[in-house]
Structure 1
Amino acid sequence: MAIKHLRTAFASQYQPGQPARLVAGEALQEPGGDYEALHKQMKRLFNSKPGKKYGRFSDDIGEGPFSAWLKDYLEEKQTFAAMTDRLFGQWQELLNGSQEEFDGHLMVVHDALADSEVVYLFILETDGAMRFDGSQKLDSTDVLSLSRLNLAVRIELDEWRNENTSDNYMTVVHARGTGDPGELFLRLCAFTNSVDVEKETMTFLDAVEAFAKSSEPEKAGEVRAKAYEFCKDQHALGEPVAIEALSNYLDESQPERFKEFASKNAEMPETGVLHPDHRKVKKLVRIAGSGGGMSVSFSSDLVNQAVYYDRDKDALTITRLPKALREQLQRYLEARED
């Protein structure tokens, strides 16, 4: 990984209705060192965030000109500094209309990977910290948060420039609770959502479950576990699930088997790529539910082995209790008896 260009700007809007303040830093070329470390941590947070959105640039260049500015920069019609000047200017204008207070650092990174290039936009947040100053007086200060990331976008440049290969070259982190600034950030990025994650999650689950049921009974559990493992690994990498790669992972001896089965039994996208929510894919390997003061969760492999469900009585019988649970129950009953 190598950063080609990086630039940051601090923006603040403390009085809605009043002009926002913005201070831009210098445009850096191959900054290395601490900047690489910061970027690596932000990428780690980006990849691990659940509930990401996938899509493309808006066709309305007038409303969202970022794609035009980025295109000019990549074609060397303007410098990185000029492009980010425009981007920062638009961010300040958008914040002028914000109905909520905001402060944060906008960091733009052009990242060159081994086989591709990407551009990131991060909103870096801060945490309060205490320190002793040079005269040993206690002082408060703000430091960058290395554990929170609620607004960010990644643009796969190669896929964007070859739109015939993908219509989902933008990945967005847009966490709940970001309010008006979060919506303004999406406008800044000129993002249009083109993937129904909920639908693709159900497509993924239905295809894997049907494939597992069509397999030999003793291998059904293994199919579900491997599908979940693959999906979880892709999530950790910040990547979607390619059906062809998953098919090969599920059965190396017959790598096309799942792919062919899924194409006949499920509505697969033409791209051959799904964006399932890895949290919901966990249903393949775990059964869980809560309500009425009760919360139950166990591996699906334990059904009819250590967990038995009686449909007629709507009763669940659990054997081979975990040691910690058994000890808690014993202590509780002993205390009640005393």
Structure 2
Amino acid sequence: MSLIISNIALHFLTKKEETGEVVLRLGPENVAASSKIESFVDALHKIYNSKGSKAYGHFSAMPAQGDKARFVDIMESYLGDSQSFHQFSSQAGNLLKNELEKYDLAETGYLIVCHYEYMGGRYLLAAIIPISEHYSVDGDLHISADQHLDTNKLQLAARIDLFDYQNNAQGNRYISFIKGRAGRKVSDFFLDFLSCEEGLNSKEQTQTLVQAVEDYVAVNQFDANEKQHSRKELLSYCKEQKESAQDVSLQEISHVIKTEESGQDFYKFCQEQSYPIEESFPHDQAVVNKVTKYAGYGNGISLSFERSHFGQDVVYNPANESITIYKVPPNLKDQLLALLESNANQSTSQSQAITSELSSEGSENEY
């Protein structure tokens, strides 16, 4: 396993229903990094990496108010060996407790604070993991209920790249955090807990990258196949970087989308065009996924197709807002033919029923 745990702490946050008071229960002082805990942190690391809705930031330069310590202050005390990891994580738990009370939120669960190394990187992860109930059956067929850490529902988590922070404290992206589905108020509370400000906009950087690639293949007069190949290579490269939690690099992309016929390489092209883009950055995979496909959903209709089909097998008419598909997928074609046949049979049955009813009425009138 490529993961090495330096320290880990587990605390529990709950809220009294009667008073709304947030209660922090501290975990044990020394948690041994057993193989089970290593496997748990490894899984948590991968789940965090897979989250697409992440943003990036840095610690706020605003000084602490009164005698209130900031997260960065207590973290520095730990990293400088002025206090133990348990003291640091306990103080972090109290900071989080105060923010929960201030925002009057119901977000409770287990607070995980972990200092670890992975593939040469050093990280500090802070996350609230919600609790879910599950059921089990024993040998006597007795059903019992229990609780577990539901890591798949991880939404409140942030990770500090300690190498980046210590080597570039003036940077704007050494903190990453999950953003989006948990809601703006919840995100704000977690940022306040860390005294963090948003910095690098990953989505904007990725949108600029995609536009730069489109400009590059157009200026170098790539044909349709070369353009689509370049887009697929970009998508494949970005997926690999995402899976390994690595930044995308303009210089590496230059080798990915270069062809023998293309003159200027992509990296120099970006420099000359002065795109507002970092030489390397954590990208937004959701933006890159759109380079090879168009997709949309609304009013009960879902449609997606590869970009290379646009204008040939899929034609859009903006005048009447219609889309014509010339090569219908076989499985969809079978469903449509079955539906037409079913409708035709239903129509025939209805016609026969009406004819029969009219015949009966005619017979009654004769009498």
TM-score by structure 2 length?
0.82
Within 5 A, what are the aligned runs for 1:139-178? 139-163=144-168, 166-178=171-183
The answer to which of 69-78 and 251-260 deviates more is 251-260
Is residue 2:254 matched to residue 1:244? no
**Partner AA of 2:22 in structure 1:** A
Partner of residue 296, structure 2: 289
Contact kept? 2:56, 2:172, Cα under 8 Å: no
Matching residue's letter, 1:288: A
Give 1:227 deviation, angstroms: 1.3
1:284 offset after TM fit, Å?
0.9
Counterpart amino acid of residue 177 in structure 1: A
**Structure 2 CA distance, aligned partners of 1:204 and 1:30?**
44
Percent identity of the aligned residues? 21
Alpha-carbon distance in 1 for matches of 2:51, 2:238:
14
Q: 1:285-304 CA deviation, whole Å, 9 max, x = no partner?
A: 00123345433210012234
Structure 2 CA distance, aligned partners of 1:222 and 1:67? 45
Return the match for 1:257 from 245, 249, 265: 265
Given the superposition, is the C-alpha separation of residues 61 and 133 from structure 1 closer, same or farther in structure 2, using an over 3 Å criterion? farther
Query: Is residue 136 of structure 2 the alignment partner of residue 128 of structure 1?
Result: no
- In structure 1, distance between residues paired with 2:139 and 2:29: 31
Does 1:222 pair with 2:222? no
Deviates more, 1:159-168 or 1:205-214: 159-168
Match for residue 6 of structure 2 among 4, 7, 12: 4
Contact (CA 8 Å) 1:204, 1:274: kept in 2 or not? no
Equivalent pairs, count: 337
Matched, 1:191 2:201: no
* Alignment partner of 1:48 is 2:53: no
Cα distance in 1 for residues equivalent to 2:249 and 2:322: 40
Structure 2 residue matching 1:289: 3-state secondary structure = strand
Distance 1:224 1:114, change over 3 A: closer
Separation (CA, whole Å) in 1 of partners of 2:122 and 2:263: 30
> Deviation digits for residues 228-263 of structure 1, max 9, x if unmatched?
222222222333322222222223878981111122
Q: Helix, strand or coil: the match of 1:147?
A: helix
Name the aligned partner's letter for residue 193 of structure 2: L
Residue 109 of structure 1 is matched in structure 2 by 114
Cα deviation for residue 127 of structure 1 reads 1.3
2:338 equivalent to 1:336: no
Preserved CA contact (<8 Å) 1:2 1:30: no
Name the larger-Rg structure: 2
SS state at 2:108 partner: strand
Cross-structure match for 1:60: 62
The residue number in structure 1 matching 2:365 is: none
Question: Which sits farther off after the overlay, 128-137 or 286-295?
Answer: 128-137
The letter for the 2-side match of 1:258 is F
Q: CA RMSD in A?
A: 2.7
Give the corresponding residue for 1:118.
123
CA distance in 2, matches of 1:174, 1:28: 31
Q: SS where residue 102 of structure 1 aligns?
A: coil
Unaligned runs of 5+ in 1: none
Of the three residues 195, 205, 214, the one matched with 1:209 is 214
Q: Kindly tell me: are residues 213 and 47 of structure 1, through their superposed partners in 2, closer, same or farther at Cα, counting changes over 3 Å?
A: same
Matched residues in 1 for 2:338 and 2:5: separation?
A: 57
Structure 2: unaligned runs, 5 residues or longer:
346-367
The one-letter code of the counterpart of 1:83 is F
4+ residue stretches of structure 1 with deviation over 6 A?
133-136, 252-256
| 1:79 counterpart residue number | 84
Are 1:299 and 2:301 an aligned pair? no
116 and 279 in structure 1: CA distance in 2 versus 1, 3 angstrom threshold: closer
In structure 1, what is the Cα distance between the partners aligned to 2:135 and 2:301?
42
Quick check: 256-265 or 131-140, which moved more?
Answer: 131-140
Q: TM-score, normalised by structure 1?
A: 0.89
Are 1:5 and 1:27, in contact at CA under 8 Å, matched by a contact in 2? no
Which of 316, 319, 323 in structure 1 is aligned with 2:326?
Answer: 319
